[in-house]
Amino acid sequence: MNAYAAMKQYQTVNVNAQVSEADPHRLIQMLMEGGLQRVAQAKGAMQHGNIGLKGEQIGKAVAILGGLREALDHQQGGEVAGNLDSLYAFMQQRLSEANLKNDAAMLDEVSELLREIKAGWDGIRQA
């Protein structure tokens, strides 16, 4: 996992947190949390007709997913990393479609997928 790339991406989207003190596991959690927040904010903006804010928040969510993709370690992660990479790419595509089509259901779909991945990631720390 390239924790530096993930941290850089996290800082790029202006999520307020103490990134410099986070371990790599927590950093990925923070990226996922930030992604979920941005998708929720985009949905709220969409529902209120704020097209500019919707696009901005979707753009930030896409960037966060890009950071998650960059953080994958394909050497050690093998098939799991490859599957996550494909899933993150799919989610980026769905966010772009949601933005173009103004489709809240697509935002919900991405949120649900990201929540499921995050739940699995959160479980790693507890194990």
Per-residue three-class SS string for 9-20: HHHHCCCCCCHH
pLDDT tens for residues 55-73?
999 999 999 999 999 999 9
Domain ranges of the chain: 3-126
Q: Measured between alpha carbons, how far is 56 from 13 in angstroms, rounded to an integer?
A: 10
What is the tens place of the pLDDT at every residue in 72-115?
999 998 999 999 999 999 999 999 999 999 999 999 999 999 99
Confidence of residue 9 (pLDDT cuts 50, 70, 90): low
**CATH topology classification for 3-126:** Four Helix Bundle (Hemerythrin (Met), subunit A) (1.20.120)
